[in-house]
């Protein structure tokens, strides 16, 4: 089940401790809003009354208070579902008839099993589909079309008097699963990236009747027949040793390195299409979770949107470098600040200035072990660590850039700097923020071993990076301090 697909599921719902007290209701899911459950009746208990007299009781509740809860469900077919950390929203109730309707919201849905909580160590591993992951693999499955001779087609390629022009061709496809094309590991997790492509069904019946393969792959629409071929990639997350049990929350935490990889490789926040797993009892489950970044696997991908691939930075090297950069708690915080800015541009320029300068300073100090230095020195050192050809493409007036960046940070952080500077408009601050953001990003890529020519190509052609590169040139338009 894909997170990007809206769902509407009718079923019966109950609390884990009261399986016999079931209520009918409808669960809806969207990746924008998460899960919303509308019940006929309510799971909440009766209000608590306090005796204030001999025959007098009072309460300030219509229904009892409910903490975030796990809710179990069964759809029309009897398949199990679980909502985790569900919070009660609005409800319709009165003292005479109790609860008539109740509404719950949850960021989690487990489809396929009843699991007590998101922290219950009841899962083995995860298979994750990420937007644009396939384009990092370089695994070509579609080969160039070839003209062919097909029985029954005469005068192929010739224009006939009635307009007939037949061009038989074959599209070679390398179908099936290629497991473990890339792999890597951290101390407690193994990561694998698999690729797959459409392949004909292989059964005794299809081998005996080859035309059946085509029939099973063909979609019949009113406009005609359609044959769709697709390729894709999935990541496998396997806790070690021996696929030891873990919780949904732990699986999501272990997904973080892959989300960081996708952000760095595309300079954008990429969504999660789906997460599937297996319980300790062997039940296959799909996890729907509200992650914030929307998945759009069916939307066109942007041309030139990939900065580097896993051939440039192997997965094991990426994971090893990431461990080195985030070896302390402060470094992990700084890393999260840097990666969090990829794909996110605050609307308020003051917020942008504050975030990018904090990320640059923290990355140099904690991830690169930059020691005790001024912010200006850190910025200059970050810029100077870039390859010569990359610096020549950016054309940054380094002293002016670092001086203005320090002033802008102080101006924003302290409600005005001691040394006043006349800022013509807020665009000047945006020039500073975008240039710091880009240079920090490029330094991060170099730490992971992205080749210099890939950085130059991104500066010239990437749809978002080339815009930020132009901001670096505009630093020269800022007045001298």
Residue 241: asked if its preceding bond is cis (omega within 30°), the reply is: yes
Cα 105 from Cα 119, distance rounded (Å):
18
**Eight-state DSSP code of residue 136:** G
Chain centroid to Cα 21, Å, comes to 37
Q: Between the CA of residue 479 and those of 181, 397, 421, 468, what are the distances in Å?
A: 52, 12, 10, 20
Under 8 Å CB-to-CB from 191, ≥6 apart: which residues?
Answer: 183, 184, 185, 235, 236, 237, 238, 257, 258, 315, 319
β-strand pairing of 189-197 with 176-185: antiparallel
Q: How are the residues of the chain apportioned to helix, strand and coil, as percentages rounded to the nearest 5?
A: 30, 25, 40
Which residue has tokens 């700084």? 334
Quote the pLDDT of residue 419. 79
Quote the pLDDT of residue 61. 58
Half-sphere exposure of 95 (CA within 13 A, CB side): 6
Quote the pLDDT of residue 127. 96
Quote the pLDDT of residue 45. 64
Cα 429 from Cα 106, distance rounded (Å):
39
Give the global pTM: 0.90
Half-sphere exposure of 212 (CA within 13 A, CB side): 10
Cβ contact 177:199 at 8 Å = no
Quote the pLDDT of residue 46. 57
pLDDT, tens digit only, all 481 positions of the chain: 999 999 999 999 999 989 999 999 999 999 999 999 999 988 876 556 565 566 665 555 556 677 889 999 999 999 999 999 999 888 776 655 567 788 999 999 999 999 999 999 999 999 999 999 999 999 999 999 999 999 889 889 899 999 999 999 999 999 999 999 999 999 889 999 999 999 999 999 999 998 999 999 999 999 999 999 999 999 999 998 876 899 999 999 999 999 999 999 999 999 999 999 999 999 999 999 988 889 999 999 988 899 999 999 999 999 999 999 999 999 999 999 999 999 887 888 889 999 999 999 999 999 999 999 999 999 999 999 999 999 999 999 999 999 999 999 998 888 887 777 777 678 889 999 999 999 999 999 999 999 999 999 999 999 999 999 999 999 988 887 7
CA-CA-CA-CA dihedral for 409, 411, 412, 414, to nearest 10? 110
SS3 (DSSP) at 208: helix
> Which residues on neighbouring strands pair with residue 286, listed in sequence order?
111, 276
């Amino acid at each position: 089940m894909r997170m990007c697909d809206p769902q509407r599921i009718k079923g019966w719902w109950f609390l884990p401790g009261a399986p016999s007290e079931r209520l009918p209701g409808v669960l809806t899911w969207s990746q924008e809003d998460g899960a919303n459950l509308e019940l006929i009746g309510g799971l909440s208990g009766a209000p608590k009354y306090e005796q204030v007299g001999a025959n007098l009781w009072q309460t300030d509740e219509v229904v009892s208070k409910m903490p975030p809860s796990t809710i179990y469900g069964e759809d029309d077919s009897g398949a199990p579902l679980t909502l985790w950390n569900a919070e009660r929203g609005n409800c319709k109730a009165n003292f005479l008839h109790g609860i008539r309707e109740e509404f719950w919201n949850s960021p989690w849905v487990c489809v396929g099993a009843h699991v007590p909580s998101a922290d219950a160590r009841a899962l083995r591993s995860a298979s994750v589909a990420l937007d644009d992951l396939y384009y990092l693999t370089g695994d070509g499955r579609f080969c160039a079309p070839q003209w062919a001779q097909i029985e029954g087609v005469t005068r192929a390629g010739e224009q006939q008097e009635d307009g007939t022009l037949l061009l038989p061709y074959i599209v070679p496809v390398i179908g099936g699963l290629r497991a473990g094309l890339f792999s890597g590991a951290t101390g407690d997790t193994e990561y694998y990236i698999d690729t797959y492509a459409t392949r004909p069904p292989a059964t005794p019946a299809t081998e005996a009747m080859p035309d059946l393969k085509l029939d099973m792959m063909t979609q019949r629409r009113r406009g005609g027949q359609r044959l769709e071929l697709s390729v894709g990639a999935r990541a496998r997350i396997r806790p070690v040793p021996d696929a030891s049990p873990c919780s949904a929350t732990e699986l999501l935490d272990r997904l973080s390195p892959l989300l960081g990889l996708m952000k760095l490789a595309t300079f954008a926040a990429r969504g999660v299409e789906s997460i599937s797993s297996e319980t300790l009892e062997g039940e296959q489950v799909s996890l729907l979770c509200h992650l914030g970044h929307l998945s759009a696997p069916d939307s066109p991908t942007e041309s030139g949107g990939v900065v580097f691939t896993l051939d440039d930075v192997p997965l094991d090297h990426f994971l090893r470098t990431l461990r080195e950069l985030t070896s302390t708690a402060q470094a992990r915080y700084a890393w999260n600040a840097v990666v969090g800015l990829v794909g996110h541009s605050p609307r308020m320029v003051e917020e942008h200035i504050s975030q990018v300068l904090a990320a640059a300073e923290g990355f140099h100090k904690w991830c690169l072990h930059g020691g005790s230095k001024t912010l200006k020195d850190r910025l200059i050192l970050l810029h100077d660590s870039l390859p010569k050809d990359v610096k020549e493409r950016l054309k940054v007036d380094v002293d002016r850039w670092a001086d203005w960046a320090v002033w802008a940070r102080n101006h924003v952080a302290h409600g005005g700097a001691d040394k006043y500077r006349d800022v013509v408009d807020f665009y000047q601050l945006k020039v500073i923020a975008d240039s710091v953001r880009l240079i920090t990003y490029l330094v991060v890529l170099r730490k992971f071993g992205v080749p210099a020519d890939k950085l130059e190509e991104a500066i010239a052609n990437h749809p978002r990076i080339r815009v930020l590169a132009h901001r670096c040139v505009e630093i020269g338009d800022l007045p001298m301090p």
